[in-house]
Amino acid sequence: MTHLARWLDLVLKATTLTILVLLALVVLLGVAFRYSGNSLIWYDEVASVLLAWITFTGAGLATLKDAHLGFNGLLFGLPRGGRILLFWLVEAIFLATFAIIGWAGWAILEIFGNETLVSVRWVTRAFVQGILPVSAAVIVLARLCTFSERYTAVLAGVDPETREIEQEIARAEEELRSLRERGETGR
């Protein structure tokens, strides 16, 4: 993983975790106030915004970890030439899609202008919707950060999921062997 990818990983983890903690606090606060009979008027709107932000920052993190749903069985089942062609096709579609999402997200910011949230008047809709172009840019950056690793795997014909499963099986077997040895020496 490159220095940029490690930095991006750290920022995305910290951001997503911070938003998750804020969402948990807002939900707990909302439940407590509702239980006391004094419901908060801003709870639903703020919680839904935070949930959307978690979704988008989490999508960036999943892209960086190459943890999105994919068709590795299809990709790695193809001969080398087909794998390379499909890889480039998927990359082009992926990057174009998120470039369009980023552009559209930026255009949406201009539409909202000075509108604010209904229950929290000091928070602009541009701030709330700003997560869309920002997350699209982060997702594109994350995809580019992992490009060389993914392309190397495609060239080698090594499915990363299969490799990960094999590593976990080897780790579990080593752990089992270690437990058996300790059990035999403990008798």
> Phi and psi dihedrals of 67, rounded to 5?
-110, 10
Q: Give the model's pLDDT for residue 110.
A: 85
pTM exceeds 0.95, yes or no:
no
Q: Give the model's pLDDT for residue 174.
A: 94
Q: Give the model's pLDDT for residue 127.
A: 86
Q: Give the model's pLDDT for residue 68.
A: 80
Q: Enumerate the H helices of 36-79 as residue ranges.
A: 43-64, 72-77
**Alpha-carbon distance 108 to 98, whole Å?**
15
Where are the domains positioned within the chain? 3-156
Q: Give the model's pLDDT for residue 99.
A: 97
For residue 162, give the amino acid letter: T
pLDDT tens, per residue, the chain with 187 residues: 688 999 999 999 999 999 999 999 999 999 999 999 988 889 889 999 999 999 999 999 999 998 887 778 888 889 999 999 999 999 999 999 999 999 999 998 888 778 888 888 888 888 888 899 999 999 999 999 999 999 999 999 988 888 888 889 999 999 999 989 887 654 4
